[in-house]
Structure 1
Amino acid sequence: MKVTEAQLLDMIAEEAIIDRATLKREATLGDLGISSLDVITLLFELEEKFGVVIEEGDMPAMTTLGEMVDYLMGRINAEAA
C-alpha cells in the first residue's frame, strides 16, 4: 500500500498533536515541536498501517519536515512496489 504526502502529514499532525495547517515542508522539526519520541511513535504507526519496518537509527539526519516526509514516502513506497 502506497502512502501520499497528505496521509503522512495527517499522521504527523495527529501523533505530534500539531495543527495540520502549520505543517509546512520548509519548517524545521524543532520549530514544529516534533520530538524524537514523536518520530518513534510515528514510525510505529507507519509500521502498523503500511507493514514496513523503519528503525529510527536507519533515518538520516533531517532538519525539515519536507526532508522527513520525502524520506518516509520513499521508504514506504519502495517497499510497497
Structure 2
Amino acid sequence: MADIRDIVVKAIVDAAVPNAGSLRDDVSLTDQGVDSLGVFTVVMNIQDACEIEIPDGDLDRLKTINDFVEYLTGRLA
C-alpha cells in the first residue's frame, strides 16, 4: 500500500481542496480554510482508498493531516 501520508494528501487533493499542496500537517483542516463539505469529502476519499469505514465516533479526533496518518497507521497495521 502507498505511504499513508500520500493517501491522505491524495484524498485532500481529490476533494478539490483549495491550496491542498500547501496545507500544514499539524494544523486542523478547518483552521486552514477547508469547509465541512471538504472535510466530509476527504473522509469519504480516505475510506474508499483504504477500503475501510471510519466510525462516526472517530471523526471528532481527525482534525489534522497528522491525525489522519496516525489513525490510519493504527487501523491498517
Which bin holds the TM-score, normalised by the shorter protein? 0.5 to 0.7
Instruction: Pick one of 68, 74, 79 that aligns with 2:70.
Output: 74
CA distance in 1, matches of 2:68, 2:48: 14
Q: What 5-or-longer segments of structure 1 have no aligned partner?
A: none
Aligned 1:6-17 pairs, distance under 5 A = 6-17=6-17
Mapped contact 2:25–2:66 kept (Cα < 8 A): no
- What percentage of aligned pairs have identical amino acids? 19
Q: TM-score, normalised by structure 2?
A: 0.67
- Say whether the 8 Å CA contact 2:61–2:67 is kept in structure 1: no
**Contact 2:7/2:49 (<8 A) preserved:** no
Partner deviation per Cα, 1:40-60 (whole Å, 9 max, x = no partner):
111111111101222455223
CA RMSD of aligned residues (A): 2.6
TM-score (norm 1): 0.64
Give the count of matched residue pairs: 77
Gaps of 5+ in 2: none
